[in-house]
């Protein structure tokens, strides 16, 4: 029987960036704990935060555990500096 694939799809807002060390930890967790991979895509529209989709076959118990373990890692792996409002900074 062929193993069905699991993928965490992260739709990333255009003004967000990745934290390399945290992204590596997220990948490691997905591979080692859930036999899954990650796919990060840039959003073309306006979004306020990353959007995640668990694609593929995730049995309900594995899905619940993945949500508990993976979603906090997603929050750590990506960031935005939009809250700084750098458009309002004046330089001399």
Which domains does the chain show, CATH number per domain?
A: 6-88 (3.30.910)
How many other C-beta atoms are found inside a 10 Å radius of the C-beta of residue 78?
19
Q: Give per-residue pLDDT as tens, 1-50.
A: 346 799 999 999 998 999 999 999 999 999 999 999 999 999 988 889 99
Q: How far apart are CA 58 and CA 19, in angstroms?
A: 26
Give residue 1's pLDDT: 39
Higher pLDDT, 23 or 82: 23
Give residue 92's pLDDT: 60
Contact 77, 21 (CB under 8 A): no
In the structure, what pLDDT confidence band is assigned to residue 82 with cuts at 50, 70 and 90? Answer: confident
Q: How far apart are CA 90 and CA 92, in angstroms?
A: 7
Q: How far apart are CA 2 and CA 72, in angstroms?
A: 30
């Amino acid at each position: 029987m062929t193993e069905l694939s699991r993928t965490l799809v992260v739709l990333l807002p255009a003004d967000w960036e990745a934290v390399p060390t945290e992204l590596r930890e997220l990948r490691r967790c997905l591979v080692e704990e859930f036999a899954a991979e990650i796919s990060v895509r840039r959003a073309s529209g306006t979004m306020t935060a990353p959007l995640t989709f668990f694609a593929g076959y995730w049995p309900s118990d594995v899905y619940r555990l993945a949500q508990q373990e993976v979603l906090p890692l997603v929050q750590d792996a990506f960031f935005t500096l939009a809250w700084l409002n750098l458009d309002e900074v004046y330089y001399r």
